[in-house]
Chain A
């Protein structure tokens, strides 16, 4: 007994000593952390998706955001009003010698970060290399009928400050300007890139990790999967950025990003989950800013899956629209991340249909299924990405579909695996999101409401949705030169997709960005590339 007490006393003393030592250590330990310099902005986000920083090749979210800050295009959306295009490297434009031609006057004072002036040759070089390289985003330029064999004839220098741009597709000038405002139409400095050409790659190998643009920033260093470090470009044709350096750090784990911004080692943390955002609410040194995004989340039913004939039944499509708990997901389950939106054009796009006629109505869904003879233990396999927030959304769907008598079997998988399934049309149902490739209604309408069955794998094709008439209407809409009439066409097309397609369009995403209270001037737009750091100060 006496020995036990002795051991106990010794242990207590030892623990006490450790506690005192620990407190002393934390008291006297010098702060080994160096303060982040005041003219440097540190952004914590995931960069794991980034493959290339060449604007003719990069098509990941991280690279698109970088292009907006490193490169400029002839015209770009106004950051504060993306429906308006503003001349950027162009001073202005007018009709060209043919109805399918535009002539651009280049800004006389525009220079690249390397000091070279922006010339018509640079415009021709940039657009030509983008088409000839034939990389991921080239389909955007292909909308103009540009192909590697025809692009040379479509571009011409008129004089030292003017360049002519022709196109062969039956589209109007307003649409062409929207295409030229896409990141792939960024203008690169030929004089800077040409010396780095290797094996006919048009400088692609070098531009993967370097920059030759005229944007507010230039790449100082890119370390793959670690960080993108940008320095201010004081010679940018816009005003010089307010901060000297922008460090975008790859912090793959959202919980770590939260700690970084909480402590102050990051000024901005992006892509935090609802739990992390909620935990940071009310912190005096932090603020959360919410930006609407053009990302539309939807359920796709593969109507040509041979293993489940019910998927081709329009009654199932209709019932599915009444079996999604739109409000539950947007307002409770993933509060802040989504708004209910039931048409393919995001709110903020010209011509967006903002009516939301559907809500969770199990009784109505059961009646529709019963009338169609689909009320006898219907089973559907639902493929979803195996990452937040898709698991939560899938579980909500599983619960509400079960109330309607449909057994949803959730099949979580890597994003790459899900996309491969959808492309091969082997899935039964899948929850996906869509982000427009350029800021025009055609980018999204061409995906949801066009299935020309000519080998183009649009979303409508992937759903096996046979729509010759609607496809013709979608093609006609892009050719319409009257903006008001064009918007009316898109409203009608959205209504058709909303009420009679194998898509259940449910949610529009909102980006929530947490930043230190001292950070000002951060702007983010609807489209993936619309992230602007040039006006940021802290």
Chain B
């Protein structure tokens, strides 16, 4: 009970600190949010009225305190960029990011982990070399360029996959999106072809994001397994006649599991933070694009709301990761 309270207190201070830093950085931005709203041609009177309406005449501590007071009532404010409540905006864009990031993480784990294990079985072998090169390329080539290339080949040239957007226009504005997940909502719509269409639009962004994430998963997992391979318990297992596969799967992998789970969790959290470039190239809504647009407009309510959501995600993922690591590794219980 006390531990839970301590954790809750620590969590509150973490999020408060995050908000404070974000607020300060946003206020230091040279972009004038009033100009974003009233334009460059507005009269001084209109400019001053909007400044007052946004409460920007108050000192920074007063502004921050007012934000916290509203936040305590569950009010994240109204976005200057969209004119909508930030909570509504986040409810609209976050499920899209969650869907994309989760699918990308599943694919990257399904591909990256086996590749890492196979590489670790024969370090410096042919497969290991190929995997290292591919994972390095996955991490190094600009994802923006890869996205455009993939769109050109699979959408524009061969025409075998859907292109930008979440659905074709025949479906996009006729299907209700109560959950915000295009897969779930297109499935539930019952419209023939809608689900397949949604999948076809998801394949490229998911695979590209997965390729990017798999690079990290593969390289770090491989390195963790190779680090384990020099340990005494591995030598002992080999001396007792265990096969390499058995040594790897039954001895090394369980010992590296805590580290691997942490790598996966961090990768997932960074994907949730937003894949701005993928969302831009593929014209998909998402938290990354939302926050980027807000940053360019010095849209403080949207920036703070989005950052808070990301902070909560990180905290939750860290918490789940801690529990998983403790379950997997009795040494740190």
| A residues in contact (CB < 8 Å) with B | 7, 11, 25-26, 29, 31-37, 40, 42, 48, 51-52, 59-60, 134-139, 142, 208-209, 220-221, 223-227, 229, 247, 249-253, 255-256, 259-260, 262-263, 265, 413-414, 416-417, 419-423, 437, 447, 455-457
Contacts and interface: CB of A to CB of B under 8 A. Distances in A.
Contacts, number: 169
A135 B168 contact: no
B61 interface: no
B193 A208 contact: no
Nearest first, the 3 A-B pairs at minimum CB distance are A416-B31, A224-B82, A32-B200
Contacts of B79: 224
A229 B173 contact: yes
Contacts of B89: 224
B92 A36 contact: no
B63 interface: no
B159 A31 contact: yes
Given A32-B161, A263-B163, A420-B31, A225 B285 contact: yes
Interface stretch (B19-27, B214-222, B237-245, B288-296): B288-296
A505 to B, nearest CB: 17
B49 interface: yes
Interface in B251-267: none
Given A247-B173, A420-B32, A135 B163 contact: no
Nearest to B295: A414
B148 interface: yes
Given A51-B37, A225-B82, A255 B148 contact: yes
Given A138-B46, A139-B41, A252 B280 contact: yes
A227 to B, nearest CB: 7
Interface stretch (B8-16, B149-157, B323-331): B149-157
A227 B84 CA distance: 15
B173 A220 contact: yes
Contacts of B163: 33, 259-260, 263, 265
B196 interface: yes
B164 A456 contact: no
B5 interface: no
A32 B172 CA distance: 14
B304 interface: no
Contacts of B42: 59, 136, 138-139
B300 interface: no
A227 B180 CA distance: 15
A137 B46 CA distance: 9
A138 B172 CA distance: 36
A190 to B, nearest CB: 22
A131 to B, nearest CB: 11
Interface string B130-171: 000000000000000000100110011011111111001111
A212 to B, nearest CB: 16
B85 to A, nearest CB: 10
A333 B74 CA distance: 52
Contacts of A457: 44
A263 B158 CA distance: 11
A25 B158 CA distance: 11
B83 A224 contact: yes
A250 B280 CA distance: 10
Contacts of A253: 280-281, 283
B316 to A, nearest CB: 26
A250 B173 CA distance: 13
B319 interface: no
B297 interface: yes
B32 A259 contact: no
B161 A259 contact: no
A253 B285 CA distance: 13
A35 B81 contact: no
A224 B82 CA distance: 6
Interface of B: 30-32, 35-46, 49-50, 79-84, 89, 92, 126, 148, 151-152, 155-156, 158-165, 168-173, 193, 196-197, 199-200, 280-283, 285, 289-290, 293, 296-298
Given A33-B168, A251-B164, A437-B41, A414 B296 contact: yes
B247 to A, nearest CB: 24
A51 B44 contact: no
B148 A417 contact: no
Contacts of A227: 172-173
A420 B35 contact: yes
A239 B216 CA distance: 59
A225 B81 contact: yes
Given A209-B83, A224-B89, A263-B156, A423 B168 contact: no
B159 to A, nearest CB: 7
A108 B84 CA distance: 37
A252 to B, nearest CB: 5
24 contacts: A11-B126, A36-B168, A37-B170, A51-B83, A52-B83, A134-B46, A136-B37, A136-B41, A136-B42, A138-B46, A208-B83, A209-B83, A223-B285, A225-B289, A227-B173, A247-B169, A249-B283, A250-B283, A253-B280, A253-B281, A413-B30, A419-B32, A420-B32, A455-B44
A138 B92 CA distance: 32
B35 A33 contact: no
A498 to B, nearest CB: 22
Contacts of A136: 37-39, 41-42, 46
A462 to B, nearest CB: 10
Nearest to B33: A416
B81 A251 contact: no
Contacts of A437: 41
Contacts of B159: 31, 33, 263
B46 A51 contact: no
Contacts of B162: 32-33
A299 B35 CA distance: 21
Contact of B43 (A32, A139, A249, A250): A139
Contacts of B50: 135
Given A224-B84, A256-B282, A457-B44, A34 B170 contact: yes
A61 B49 CA distance: 22
Contacts of A414: 30-31, 296
A202 to B, nearest CB: 14
B44 A256 contact: no
B173 to A, nearest CB: 5
B173 A419 contact: no
A416 B46 contact: no
Contact of A456 (B44, B83, B84, B296): B44
A48 B169 contact: no
Contacts of B293: 48, 225
A252 B160 contact: no
Contacts of B170: 34-37
Nearest to A421: B30
Given A225-B285, A252-B280, A252-B283, A51 B173 contact: no
Contacts of A413: 30
A227 B82 CA distance: 12
Contact of A416 (B32, B49, B169): B32
Contacts of A423: 32, 35, 40
A209 B82 CA distance: 10
Contacts of A249: 165, 169, 283
A416 B40 CA distance: 9
- Which of B169, B197, B298 lies at the interface centre, i.e. has the most chain A CB atoms within 10 A of its CB? B169
A227 B156 CA distance: 22
A142 B41 contact: no
Contacts of B196: 32
Nearest to B89: A224
A251 B173 CA distance: 16
Contacts of B82: 51, 224-225
A369 to B, nearest CB: 31
B111 to A, nearest CB: 15
B292 to A, nearest CB: 9
